[in-house]
Structure 1
């Protein structure tokens, strides 16, 4: 008996233009996407510009937010140095954007400091110096004839070490120390300018610096409430509040929590809401563009599907979507960098811009994939025969 053998033809026939090697396949898909972009350059440009504007809007807001976060951490570090507790007045403190420093809103509470603890009272306010609004602080440790400038305020005012300056009717000699935005003078000099407003910084007894209950211990001794949450404000009818910089259950440091508070005020504001809406509109623009491209090229993709290249249709849109979003990201981030450098150079810094660019980049992969999947899903729901029908 003879047995006949029938060789079955492969069920999937691949286009010879798309090689089986993954590297070659990707390069072919890139060339395919770039060819489509060259065929419809106006759609590509409009999509990139629309998405770039949305990305620029978000990047600007995030840059401002990151700048405030950096500023918040730096301003607290400038106040606390290595102190474990910060005792603020009942009226609280605020950040003066012109002086670029934290300023007390009322007199520091009277304290009967327990034995073994070290507490330093610092007067705090603002004054005008050579046309600049600066933070002025006073304490007993500063020599009467000196004005200690932070390097940041030196950059703003242009003074140099050894220069004579007039503060509070006194002629003082400039000394530069630290990186802060404040000028520190002797207590009598500061009192003549800012009055009694100020705060206390407190150091625990040796060996107790890392204890988690030092705020409660010190608070019980002086009769003040304490908290590790910088968002909590003191009771305006009380005496003051102790901020605990080492306690609390959060893994974040007090400076990090304070900077997050600064950053959150920007992102939760109307400006932050508008930027989020803008990013959503940019995504809608991208999806609309891809839907239009699918409708125009349905016959072409119908041919690809009919010869077994349905997967390549998905890959093609993923590659084209990635190209569009990458181009929009570069344009948007660079445009945002130029905008903040020209409009708000005093607030936005290169570090904040880079942080914002990194945060915005985290959204791009998901947006590019979803932006490609929506039109492709609609496309692949139809049979190849239906796609080949004349439109």
Structure 2
């Protein structure tokens, strides 16, 4: 009998940890479900407050997401545009009037004629005419260079879609009829230099490639500057002097792991986020957060007696957890609504630069703020509530 009792006791001892763990898991699951049901019941009790809070925060999230999406889109398209312009060259000599990214045509265009250059022996220099062509199908970026064969137009796939042409078709550019070859997915029409000059004028730039024995050096800009007299820089934020002859951008010089294309795209992105539009979006996000806290404070005021009873029986932590769940529910609903509306708004307003990648990047950036906002949104009203004794809560509500 003693052996049997010991065996049962040993068996019970071995099974007890698993039983306790299972019971604890069940308790945790039931607590989460209960808190979620409690939060949903409060939403059903005051649906108009929930809707207003969600809508207010969603508008704030929408404004921030739109700005971030446009910023990311400019960064992506700006980087692609610079890559398209350089086409593997190390130096980019721009006119004194500078260049700019034209969001209407989705490409970089020149604001003045290319500077005069005396290129050293061994270097390869390509002059590009760059302007906006008012075609019958709409405005498009038109690039002209000697690298394009006579009688040929290399049309980016986006431009080809706008023009409604395919490879082998004939495209009339000015007085020239050119055979179409559809190229990569940009919105640029590349034609021979003389054709482009007749249509958009002489504005443009130079791209320069060093000889093989100089490849890999990071002082190419200063070398070319010494040869031509034009200043050079590795910073795309630097603009040419108005009374100068031009500026050489060194795309391979400088230090650090950031490429010239990345610096150029970051410049575009920063212009959007630091603009008045970006400031308004941040203010909107703050106002949305204030709306959320105001809504939770009103909920606390209405349910003082209920929370007083919970606190009086030792369930003060449950009050905190309840508001955390409800706050998370509000912010999650607002987030999903806000980023959805933002995606629709961007695609309707600036479809030429909007990309799914940029929208996802913006949505991810905004999502990083939500946990902290939800926690603070719950802590502020709960802190005000728990500063009072249960007797005060019950007495004030009687």
Q: Is TM > 0.5 for Structure 1 vs Structure 2?
A: yes
Report 1:218-257 matches (<5 A): 218-257=224-263
**Equivalent in the alignment of 2:47:** 41
Partner of 2:136: 130
Alignment of 1:1-391 (within 5 A): 21-206=27-212, 208-391=214-397
Unaligned 5+ segments in structure 2 are 1-23
- SS of the counterpart of 1:390? helix
Which segment drifts farther, 353-362 or 283-292?
A: 353-362
Give the Cα–Cα distance (whole angstroms) in 2 for the partners of residues 210 and 388 of structure 1: 78
Aligned-pair distance for 1:194?
2.7
Distance of 1:194 and 1:41 partners within structure 2 = 60
Cα pair 1:84 1:209 within 8 Å, conserved: no
Determine the structure 2 residue equivalent to 1:10: none
More helix by share: 2
Is contact 2:60–2:284 with CA below 8 Å preserved after alignment? yes
Q: Is the 8 A contact 1:287 1:371 kept in 2?
A: yes
Q: Secondary structure at the match of 1:120?
A: strand
User: Runs of 5+ in structure 1 lacking a partner?
Assistant: 1-17
| 1:376–1:136 CA distance, 2 compared to 1 (3 A) | same
Instruction: Give the direction of change, closer, same or farther, for the CA distance of 1:246–1:23 in structure 2 (3 Å limit).
Output: farther
Secondary structure of 2:379 counterpart? helix
Q: Deviations over 1:67-91 (max 9, x none)?
A: 2222211211111121111111111
Give, in angstroms, the shift of residue 383 of structure 1: 1.5
Q: C-alpha separation between the residues in 2 aligned to 1:19 and 1:314?
A: 21
TM-score by length of 1: 0.90
**Using the alignment, how far apart are the partners of 2:379 and 2:303 within structure 1?**
16
* DSSP 3-state at the match of 2:29: helix
Structure 2: distance between partners of 1:235 and 1:315: 61
Provide closer, same or farther for how the CA distance between residues 343 and 135 of structure 1 changes in structure 2, counting only shifts above 3 A.
closer
Give the TM-score normalised by the residue count of structure 2: 0.89
Using the TM superposition, give the Cα deviation of residue 373 of structure 1 relative to its aligned residue in structure 2, in angstroms.
Answer: 0.8
Which deviates further from its counterpart, 257-266 or 245-254?
Answer: 245-254
Kept after mapping to 2: 8 A contact 1:122/1:139: yes
Q: Please list every run of at least 4 consecutive aligned residues from structure 1 whose deviation after the TM superposition is greater than 6 angstroms.
A: none
The C-alpha deviation readout for 1:76-118, integer Å capped at 9, x for no partner, is: 1111121111111111011223222111111111212122322
SS in 1 for 2:212: coil
Q: How many residues align?
A: 374
Q: Once the 2 structures are TM-superposed, how far is the Cα of residue 251 of structure 1 from its aligned partner?
A: 2.7
Q: Distance in 2 between matches of 1:164 and 1:237?
A: 43
Q: CA contact under 8 A between 1:19 and 1:25: conserved in structure 2?
A: no
1:290 deviates by 0.5
State the 1:171 CA deviation.
1.7
Contact 2:106-2:353 at 8 Å conserved across structures? no
User: Residues 21 and 227 from structure 1, CA distance in 2 versus in 1: closer, same or farther, beyond 3 angstroms?
Assistant: farther
Q: CA deviation at 1:343?
A: 3.4
Deviates more, 1:360-369 or 1:343-352: 343-352
Moved more, 342-351 or 111-120: 342-351
Tell me if structure 1 keeps the 8 A contact 2:106–2:352: no
SS of structure 1 residue aligned to 2:396 = coil
- Classify the secondary structure of the residue corresponding to 1:69: helix
Deviation at 1:19, TM superposition (A): 8.8
The answer to whether the Cα contact below 8 Å between 1:128 and 1:134 also exists between their aligned partners in 2 is: yes
